[in-house]
Amino acid sequence: MENYMKLEIPAKSCNESLVRAVVSAFAVQLDLSIEELADIKTAVSEAVTNSIVHGYSNMKGTIKVVCRMIDGCIEIEITDYGVGIEDIDTAMQPLFTSKPECERSGMGFTVMQTFMDELKVSSKLGEGTVVTMKKRIGG
């Protein structure tokens, strides 16, 4: 039987570290290495920050986090119900940012791809974005 957890929080920057800590606490059940845990924490931080900064852009909103453990793999799904992404392929290019005036680096998706084994992004304008990341533990 797969194990899972769900968390729903307001899209506030002060909650980014909470999500990282909760996902970390859940992930340690997989007996992962310190490096694997650091990778997961970094990717989660980037995804949550993207939701707050780009998905809601200073508007109130909610972020939903679902984690699943399936066959030695952790899957993390981070959903926002914000503005959505117009062109996912462009948004995933290194150094692309929708907020250059805020001195954003545009490396969020690149970081997620680097630290996780799989990254899938789906989005609808005006409805939000779902980022799904997977990491095989010990592999």
Please list the active-site residues. 46, 50, 104
Amino acid at 137: I
Token pair of 48 as six digits:
């949550």
Q: If you count them, how many residues does the chain have?
A: 139
Q: Which positions ≥6 away from 125 have C-beta within 8 Å?
A: 83, 84, 85, 86
Q: Which tokens sit at 19?
A: 């999500």
Cα–Cα distance for residue pair 74/57, rounded to 1 Å: 29
Which residue is it, tokens 């066959």? 71
Angstrom CA distances, 117 to 28, 53, 58, 60, 88, stand at 18, 24, 31, 31, 19
